[in-house]
Structure 1
Amino acid sequence: MRRYDLDWLRVIVFGLLIFYHVGMFFVAPDWGWHIKNNITYEWIKYPMLFLNQWRLPILFVISGMGTSYALSKRTAIQFAFERTKKLLLPLVFGMLVIVPPQVYLEKLSKGLISVSYFNFWPAQAFIGTYPTGNLSWHHLWFIPYLLLFSLVLIPVFIFLRNNPNNIIIKTTAKICQNRWKLYWFITPLYLAEAFIEPFYQETHALVGDWFVITSSIFLFFIGFLLISVKETFWKTVQENRTIYLKCGIAGFTALLFIITAFEDGYVRHFTEALIKVFSFWSWILTLFGHASKYLNKPSKTLSYCNEAVYPFYILHQTITVILGYFLMNLPWNSFYKFSIMSIGTFAISWVIYEFLIRRWILIRPFFGLHYKNKLPTAEFHHQSSNSIFAE
């Protein structure tokens, strides 16, 4: 049975991603981004830190859950082909067409280039790799990581699917019956945070990005396990959603205290790592619990948004950077700029999606959508699976 709450969470989290990237335009320079407003703000980093702690982890968990649905209907070869088609084609298209304007405007704003865009693309756009060169996947980094995890874990997932009474699934079911035992899942995440992150900080370059790869593949695998025990997990998080919310508030408060009150050192690092994973896992459980209670129902709005979310993800940051470039040096109130960039990113993404991507059959695959663009009511469930993050 389809989990509509997962679809809603996916749509909501990617909607928040737009606000997050707009926030990167205004946050203090130590949070590096492609372009910055002429006035930046230190305090913005705290609400952004709150979002940042769980927004990517929950997407990898949801993606792992979606993989379970996908493999229930496909052979390993069918799954590998379908996932490669939906991920690799949009990634290549994005790197060739969508991302270059971001690189161009960043280097133009910093005085690193002075040519027009059509002298930059394609002649210079693919020379060398970013940041010294120009070829990059920028915000699309999530796609190659998801492709890697999906393909590498196929043998494990096939084994778990074909042997539902194996020790791993049985142990997961027992853990999911107890609200506190669900925190056992943070053990590998803590080990990665404590012992890998100091040596391999985030780069999103895939090669050598061992901390992100390790922690993210664990989250992806955990998502597959949680959905495999069916209602056992959902019953626990729904019944204990208020407790998890209190844990999340306490965890994030403690995390802020440690970050602001103590200097870097071994004690702070290992303590911060534990509180960080406890905090974001509590928020993930909170979101799953509340979504299960209030959002697990279909709607036409959800069906539309769930198909649109992948194209919006591919498009949004380029639109945000373009708007930011023309606003960055204007002597306007930052609230007006934030509003223009947020509303503008949503509106322009929607116009491009609705009147170009959604309606043009040949363009749809470049944004991860099926060729077929009009589906009868009987195929409602199939339409919801257009997203790479769904089944």
Structure 2
Amino acid sequence: MRKAYIDNIRWATVWLVLIYHVCYMFNGVGILGGIPGAENIPAFDTAAAMVYPWFMVLLLLLAGMSARYSLSKRTGGQFIRERAVKLLVPSTLGLFVIHWITGYLNIKMGGGLNFIPAPLVYPISAISGIGPLWFIQTLFLFSCVLVLLKKLDGRDRLWELCGRCGLPMIILLALPIFVAAQVLNMPVLTMYRFGIYFVAFLIGYFVFSHDGVQEKVERARVPMLCAAAVCAVVYAFQYHRTDYTSPDCLQSVITNLYLWFTVLAIIGFAKRYMDRETDLTRYMSSSSFGVYILHYPVLLAICYVICTYFSFPAICNYLLALVIAMVLTPLAYELIRRIPVIRWLVLGRRK
């Protein structure tokens, strides 16, 4: 059961992730992983801070909805086998094909090549080159747990109960989102926020996969946008020019209210205005997974070359990195998807 607006939100968010990572590469708020010594423009840090709290929560919620539609046509075993090829293979074996580039450049920029023995550089680069692939690793884990939950609730009673949620209850789901933001957060590797992402995935599966819930959110899209705008102002005022990936920011009440109202507003407006397909949107939907997988090593290599071999003004660094990455990433996808074996290892696609 494919819904055009879900696909459209997904590909648009994937491209937003690429744009965010351009800002992240040159960030000036102390977030590790960017280009050392790169000249920074504070306005772009503010833009990155405004999308960071909600865009991965949105993707996990959409993934939960899609998992529900997928499991309605497959057995649990079929579902896991498909997810293993699509998610687990690219995020494990694929590291040794292309994502070692991410690990190698990070090691090089951090000075690690000075003390890592030469024979170990490639395997360490591959293992440390996960980058944004944490998302699909996490999604595979959540999919396995979901199959177990589905077996425990074989008659779908919980799913049917969640379909009765009215708008007040949908808004109050901000509470479990807030509570989940406090738990199961990995130290150092702050992108692994298992608590909030798993709860978002379950909310997508049990609640937002119902047409009735989606319609209620659509009807309330304008109030949700207004609430999101108010929360955005408070959030921006409170965390301006700070590390927006820190626990203090991500676990606060205002951050989680802001992210939840933003997610509701996006779903409501997308269902109203983006529930249609064109040749362009079909291509963007079909290529978005590949763009997500490939964009980071492509972008990191571009930023490294720009900052190492050229001395452009800061604004040129941002714009060049963005434009070149937006061109080269789809080209890399089109090339890799045509190469047997490599396409399976990197994209999890047999055909």
**Same structural fold, with TM-score higher than 0.5 when normalized by the shorter chain:** yes
Structure index of larger Rg: 1
Alignment of 1:205-224 (within 5 A): 212-224=193-205
Contact 2:85–2:349 (CA under 8 A) maintained in structure 1: no
- DSSP-derived class of the 2:40 partner: coil
Q: Distance in 2 between matches of 1:200 and 1:123?
A: 26
Match of 2:123 in 1: 126
Match of 2:270 in 1: 291
**Identity across the alignment (%):** 22
Match of 1:226 in 2: 207
The reply to whether residue 163 of structure 1 matches residue 142 of structure 2 is no
Contact 2:214–2:268 (CA under 8 A) maintained in structure 1: yes
Q: Distance in 2 between matches of 1:345 and 1:125?
A: 24
Match of 2:283 in 1: 304
The reply to whether residue 346 of structure 1 matches residue 326 of structure 2 is yes
Q: Distance in 1 between matches of 2:281 and 2:28?
A: 35
1:182 paired residue among 170, 175, 187: 170
- DSSP-derived class of the 1:53 partner: coil
Q: Distance in 2 between matches of 1:319 and 1:370?
A: 20
Q: CA deviation at 1:320?
A: 0.9
- DSSP-derived class of the 1:91 partner: coil
Contact 2:5–2:274 (CA under 8 A) maintained in structure 1: yes
Contact 1:34–1:102 (CA under 8 A) maintained in structure 2: no
Q: Deviations over 1:200-225 (max 9, x none)?
A: 556158xxx5xx11111101000001
Indicate how the Cα distance of structure 1 residues 361 and 272 shifts in structure 2: closer, same or farther if over 3 A, else same: closer
Indicate how the Cα distance of structure 1 residues 222 and 333 shifts in structure 2: closer, same or farther if over 3 A, else same: same
Question: Superposition RMSD on alpha carbons, in Å?
Answer: 2.8
Indicate how the Cα distance of structure 1 residues 351 and 37 shifts in structure 2: closer, same or farther if over 3 A, else same: farther
Q: Distance in 2 between matches of 1:296 and 1:346?
A: 25
Q: CA deviation at 1:174?
A: 2.7
Match of 1:49 in 2: 49
Contact 1:5–1:297 (CA under 8 A) maintained in structure 2: yes
Q: Distance in 1 between matches of 2:62 and 2:331?
A: 27
- DSSP-derived class of the 2:275 partner: coil
Q: CA deviation at 1:22?
A: 0.8
Q: CA deviation at 1:80?
A: 1.2
Indicate how the Cα distance of structure 1 residues 336 and 234 shifts in structure 2: closer, same or farther if over 3 A, else same: same
Q: CA deviation at 1:98?
A: 2.0
Q: Distance in 2 between matches of 1:272 and 1:253?
A: 17
The reply to whether residue 148 of structure 1 matches residue 127 of structure 2 is no
Q: Deviations over 1:232-261 (max 9, x none)?
A: 112111111111000001112122233359
Contact 2:103–2:127 (CA under 8 A) maintained in structure 1: yes
- DSSP-derived class of the 1:126 partner: helix
Contact 1:94–1:137 (CA under 8 A) maintained in structure 2: no
Alignment of 1:195-344 (within 5 A): 195-196=182-183, 200-201=186-187, 203=189, 212-229=193-210, 231-259=211-239, 273-329=252-308, 330-344=310-324
Match of 1:377 in 2: none
- DSSP-derived class of the 2:33 partner: coil
Contact 2:337–2:347 (CA under 8 A) maintained in structure 1: no
User: Mean Cα displacement is larger for which, 363-372 or 321-330?
Assistant: 363-372
2:163 paired residue among 169, 173, 195: 173
Count of residues in correspondence between the two structures: 345
Match of 2:102 in 1: 102
1:225 maps to a residue whose letter is F
Contact 2:86–2:348 (CA under 8 A) maintained in structure 1: yes
Name the TM-score, length of structure 1 as normaliser: 0.80
Match of 1:387 in 2: none
Indicate how the Cα distance of structure 1 residues 359 and 332 shifts in structure 2: closer, same or farther if over 3 A, else same: same
Q: CA deviation at 1:361?
A: 4.1
Q: Distance in 1 between matches of 2:17 and 2:10?
A: 11
2:131 paired residue among 138, 147, 171: 138
Q: Deviations over 1:84-123 (max 9, x none)?
A: 11111111233212222222223323433269xxx95x74
Q: Distance in 2 between matches of 1:202 and 1:169?
A: 35
Contact 2:26–2:35 (CA under 8 A) maintained in structure 1: no
Any gaps of 5 or more consecutive residues in structure 1?
263-267, 373-391
Indicate how the Cα distance of structure 1 residues 313 and 236 shifts in structure 2: closer, same or farther if over 3 A, else same: same
Contact 2:221–2:264 (CA under 8 A) maintained in structure 1: yes
Match of 1:384 in 2: none
- DSSP-derived class of the 1:153 partner: helix
- DSSP-derived class of the 1:5 partner: helix
Indicate how the Cα distance of structure 1 residues 25 and 260 shifts in structure 2: closer, same or farther if over 3 A, else same: closer
2:217 maps to a residue whose letter is V
1:45 maps to a residue whose letter is D
Match of 2:350 in 1: 371
Any gaps of 5 or more consecutive residues in structure 2?
none
